[in-house]
Amino acid sequence: GTVEMIVRRPAVDEREALDVGEPGRVAVALAMEAAFVAMLGDTTTRRVDMLLKRSREISDRYETPESGVYRALVGGLAAFASGRWKECVASMGVARERLDRGRARRNFEFTLRELFELAALYQLGRVTELRARRLEYVHDARERGDLCAETSLRAGDAAVIWLAADDPQGARQDIHEAVRRWPRDAFLAQRAWAFLAERAIDVYEGDGEYAWRRVEETWPRVRSSLLFVGQHVRVMSRFWRANAALLSAADPSRRAARLAIASRHARQLAGERVPHATALAALLRGGIAAARGDVERAALAHKEAARGFEDTDMALLAAATRYRLGKLLGGARGRANVAAAVRYMDEEGIENPARMAAMYAPIWR
């Protein structure tokens, strides 16, 4: 199929390109192929490592400024794809230094670097830093008249800065303004990122049936999109759809069907074989158990999820999970979990910790 061809077919005839004196282009091509393959997910890790190793070998022999930039960029992309968020931020910092030393501004590389740096900061829960960098990058995109960069930077995970200020309407309006000039006839990356951000906003607002209706309006396009082949989009799309199903399961007439959907997505996330998806699956299982009244099982699943998020440096998700765990446990241990979660969220400028926790872990009992 198409994916198998993309993963297995070499992007360039390496030897021929080297023979005509273009080693820098070969190194870049191999690095970019590694970036694309990495986005397909866990099963491609060995091929990504092989491509990056070969790109590095060529770059070390025939170093060019361009190959150095791409090596840092692709290292960051590969780190992001496998959930190594801190490594992604560090690699994108190296890429920025190398881009700043270049003679010409290259908008594509700058935008790619900024997008994945912001996305990794979101996963790390570094909301204060995310807010400052997003402001800088969006301002820069507007100054140079780069609509693609501005739309991309405003449409995605960085919308959490509005939710941190307890302003879901501001978040929704900002995304709407960002994508309104974007083509509607194709489900491009910017619309996929907007889909994910808007689902978080819907769940944050707490209206389960509205959140469910909204996700179902777009789900067929998301599910059939080529972007769904990419592991990150697939994981987060299923997580937010499951959360909408969980929230809407407060209605007894819809409970069994919606919990079945959430359970299916939890199993699918567990099957992705990356640590952050495993933790998300545990969080969903905890919400499902709580919805069924099994507090003991819900608490165990939330503990598993919290450990998983802590192991993968996902501090905001860990705090939200600990908050919910505290509410489940009650007593002194429960209060300690809630207090620790609130303390972290206060440090990151989150105005409404209870609502932020409910966005990631919607428990309505």
Which CATH number belongs to the domain containing residue 261 in this structure?
1.10.3450
Q: Quick check: pTM over 0.75?
A: yes
Domain termination site, one of 140, 161, 194: 194
Report the distance separating Cα 90 and Cα 49, nearest Å: 18
Q: How far is CA 109 from the centre of its chain?
A: 19
Is the same domain home to 190 and 208?
A: no
Domain termination site, one of 104, 135, 166: 104
Is the same domain home to 165 and 93?
A: no
Is the same domain home to 325 and 209?
A: yes
Domain termination site, one of 47, 82, 104: 104
Half-sphere exposure of 167 (CA within 13 A, CB side): 10
Amino acid at 260: A
Domain total in the chain: 3
Question: Could you tell me if residue 109 is inside a domain?
Answer: no
Q: Which DSSP state fits 314?
A: -
Is the same domain home to 51 and 127?
A: no
Question: Could you tell me if residue 317 is inside a domain?
Answer: yes
pLDDT, tens digit, 9 for 90 and up, residues 51-84: 767 766 666 666 666 667 877 888 898 899 889 9
Report the distance separating Cα 45 and Cα 38, nearest Å: 7
Question: Could you tell me if residue 270 is inside a domain?
Answer: yes
pLDDT band (50, 70, 90) for residue 98? confident
pLDDT, tens digit, 9 for 90 and up, residues 102-147: 655 567 888 989 999 999 999 999 999 999 999 999 999 999 899 9
Q: 6-10, 50-54, 145-149, 253-257: which has the highest mean pLDDT?
A: 253-257
Half-sphere exposure of 24 (CA within 13 A, CB side): 7
Supply the pLDDT for residue 184. Answer: 76
Is the same domain home to 157 and 303?
A: no
- Report in angstroms the alpha-carbon separations of 150 from 155, 161, 292: 8, 16, 43
Is the same domain home to 291 and 156?
A: no
Amino acid at 225: S
Of the chain, the end-to-end C-alpha distance in Å amounts to: 45
Buried b (16+ CB within 10 A) or exposed e, 52-78: bebbbebbeeeeeebbbbbbbbbbbbb
Is the same domain home to 360 and 212?
A: yes
Range of the domain at 217: 204-365
pLDDT, tens digit, 9 for 90 and up, residues 277-289: 999 999 999 999 9
Residue 330 scores a pLDDT above 60: yes
